[in-house]
Structure 1
Amino acid sequence: MNIEAIRTYCLGKKGTSESFPFDEDILVFKVLDKMFALISLKKWESGQAAINLKADPDYSERLRAQYSNIRPGYHMSKKHWNTLYLHEGQLALELITHLIDHSYDMVVKGMTKKMRDNLNNL
């Protein structure tokens, strides 16, 4: 899955925006201003493709045990974020999109009722 496909997939989710809140290197996808995916453009361009995604802690542990290229979130909470290293081996497209969906759903689940109502009304 290339970066444009990931970008298109993320932006297709309801209430999603993209920005560079940290610097011009880190592309961040947010749902109603809450981060659910981060990509380093410099690393991607250098052949070190990776994406940080939020995940349920128990599910994270299972994923990390099953896939060597899913590791604790780089520069993120190791409990709540995973980094998927896409350059080290192939993760199925279905798994990548599932984990993007899971990250988005985790963020939405953590929102206030008012925020979720606003999202549903978009």
Structure 2
Amino acid sequence: MDYDSARDYLLSRPEAAEDFPFGPGVAVFKVKGRMFATLGIENDLARTNLKCDPGEAQALRDIFTGVLPGYHMNKKHWNTVLLDGSVPDYEVERMVDQSYGLVVRGLRRVEREALELAYGPDTIYR
């Protein structure tokens, strides 16, 4: 997966919005104002930070060489995924979906229920 494919997939999540609060080099993706991913390029290598269940975060790091502790993030809850081909596209998409779902679960009830009603829980929690 490359930068453009990752960006397109991140923006395909319901009500995902792209912002640049840290400057033009790092895109931040939010749902209802809450961050679920970052995406940037450093030294010609695209990378994304994704929220992760703490129990799964270390397992993913052990399985994939391109999954590292979250860069500039809480390393218990965030992983950095290098988009260098070492992690299959379907696995990156699964991690994006999980990150998005974890953030939605943490929204206020009224916001979460509005998303679930508008898009269906199967779309929100893939």
Report the 3-state secondary structure (helix = DSSP H, G, I; strand = E; otherwise coil) of the residue aligned with 1:49: strand
Unaligned segments of structure 2, at least 5 residues: 119-126
Matches within 5 A, 1:94-109: 94-109=90-105
Unaligned segments of structure 1, at least 5 residues: none
Counterpart CA distance in 2 for 1:65 and 1:2 is 22
The structure 1 segments of at least 4 consecutive aligned residues displaced by more than 6 Å after TM superposition are none
Determine which of 45, 50, 64 is the counterpart of 1:53. Answer: 50
Aligned residue type for 1:60: A
Counterpart CA distance in 2 for 1:92 and 1:33 is 29
Q: Residues 59-99 of structure 1: CA distance to partner in whole angstroms, max 9, x if unpaired? A: 10111111122111000001110001123x52111101000
Aligned residue type for 1:23: G
Q: TM-score, normalised by structure 2?
A: 0.86
Report the 3-state secondary structure (helix = DSSP H, G, I; strand = E; otherwise coil) of the residue aligned with 2:44: coil
User: Is the 8 Å Cα contact of residues 2 and 83 (structure 2) preserved in structure 1?
Assistant: no
Between the aligned residues of both structures, percent identity stands at 37
Deviation at 1:110, TM superposition (A): 1.1
Report the 3-state secondary structure (helix = DSSP H, G, I; strand = E; otherwise coil) of the residue aligned with 1:77: coil
Q: RMSD between aligned alpha carbons?
A: 1.4
Aligned residue type for 1:109: R
Report the 3-state secondary structure (helix = DSSP H, G, I; strand = E; otherwise coil) of the residue aligned with 2:72: coil
